[in-house]
Amino acid sequence: MASRGGGRGQGRGRGQLTFNTEAVGIGKGDALPPSTLQPSPLFPPLEFYPVPLPSGEEGEYVLALKQELRGAMRQLPYFIRPAVPKRDVERYSDKYQMSGPIDNAIDWNPDWRRLPRELRIRVRKLQKDRSTILVPKRPPKTTEYKEETIQKLETLEKKEEELTSEEDEEKEEEEKEEEEEEEYDEEEHEEETDYIMSYFDNGEDFGGDSDDHMDEAIY
């Protein structure tokens, strides 16, 4: 009943509203604001300048904490990096370049008793002499030799303590002022070759930083 009575003016003639506009404060003949024809701008201009952020010892300490935490969490084994997509052709330098985690293992040791059995997965060896909980779900896809080398690389990568001899080697190397790669440590620990990592730079990353066309010849 009520709706039928109230809907009398519905849609009959444009500009007719079902309520008395005066009650809401729009007087007769008042200019209404222009109707919007497009979505509001992405960065509308600010009318009032925002209040400055709190500064002071506490604020700065918490800020520093936040940034540290962010950095720290990236280094923890819980940060899972997606595997680097396989290149079209296997290259010799792949053996010595550190890509993401190749095999499907995790780097930390959860308490398997607390987790559902279906989640069990291989734990990567942290040290050569430790036994691992091996519950392989499928045979490793990579060849045996490559697997070994990569395991070795990753073992060395994960070594938690540096012995002094290795430290000296490192310092010696850095004094030569070679361009440092991110995976610097592994260069020195790699025992299979006398060459430094950048020797195997296959040039694929060169020029990749710039936005220039790759077709142009690079001299």
Partner 1 sequence: MTQAEIKLCSLLLQEHFGEIVEKIGVHLIRTGSQPIRVIVHDTRTSLDQVKKALCVLIQHNLVIYQVHRRGMVEYEAQCSRVLRMLRYPRYIYTAKTLYNDTGELIVEELLLNGKMTMSALVKKVADRLTETMEDGKTMDYAEVSCTFVRLADTHFVQRCPLVHATENSDPGPPPPAPTLVINEKDMFLVPKLSLIGKGKRRRSSEDDATGEPKAKRPKHTTDNKEPIPDDGIYWQANLDRFHQHFRDQAIVSAVANRMDQTSSEIVRTMLRMSEVTTPSSAPFTQPLSSNEIFRSLPVGYNISKQVLDQYLTLLADDPLEFVGKSGDSGGGMYIINLHKALGSLATASLESVVQERFGSRCARIFRLVLQKKHLEQKQVEDFAMIPAKEAKDMLYKMLSENFISLQVTNNVIIINQQSWTRVRETPEEIPKTPDHAPSRTFYLYTVNILSAARMLLHRCYKSIANLIERRQFETKENKRLLEKSQRVEAIIASMQATGAEAAQLQEIEEMITAPERQQLETLKHNVNKLDASEIQVDETIFLLESYIESTMKRQ
Positions in 100-129 near partner 1 (CB under 8 A): 104, 106, 109-111, 113-121, 127
Q: What would the two tokens of residue 159 be?
A: 């070594």
For every residue of 140-168, DSSP letters joined together read: -SS-HHHHHHHHHHHHHHH-----HHHHH
What is the number of helices (H) and of strands (E) in the chain?
6, 2
Q: Interacting stretch for partner 1, rule CB under 8 A, among 70-78, 145-153, 185-193, 197-205?
A: 70-78
Positions in 179-198 near partner 1 (CB under 8 A): 179-180, 182, 184
Cβ closer to partner 1: 78 or 91?
78
Q: Tell me if 122 sits within 8 A of 132, measured CB to CB.
A: yes
Report the residue from 28, 34, 58, 145 that binds partner 1 according to the rule CB under 8 A. Answer: 58
Report the alpha-carbon distance of residue 91 to residue 192 in Å, rounded: 17
Spatial CA neighbour of 103 closest among 129, 128, 121: 121
How crowded is residue 153: how many other Cβ atoms within 10 Å of its Cβ? 21
For residue 60, the minimal CB distance to partner 1 (Å) is 9
Cβ closer to partner 1: 161 or 191?
161
Q: Tell me if 103 sits within 8 A of 121, measured CB to CB.
A: no
Q: Tell me if 69 sits within 8 A of 78, measured CB to CB.
A: no
For residue 160, the minimal CB distance to partner 1 (Å) is 7
Positions in 161-180 near partner 1 (CB under 8 A): 161-164, 170-171, 174-175, 177, 179-180
Cα Rg for the chain, rounded, in angstroms?
32
Positions in 76-105 near partner 1 (CB under 8 A): 76, 78-82, 104
Which residues of the chain form contacts with partner 1 (CB under 8 A)? 1-2, 5-6, 18-20, 23-26, 47-48, 50-51, 53-54, 58-59, 61-63, 65-67, 69-70, 72-74, 76, 78-82, 104, 106, 109-111, 113-121, 127, 130-131, 137, 160-164, 170-171, 174-175, 177, 179-180, 182, 184, 209
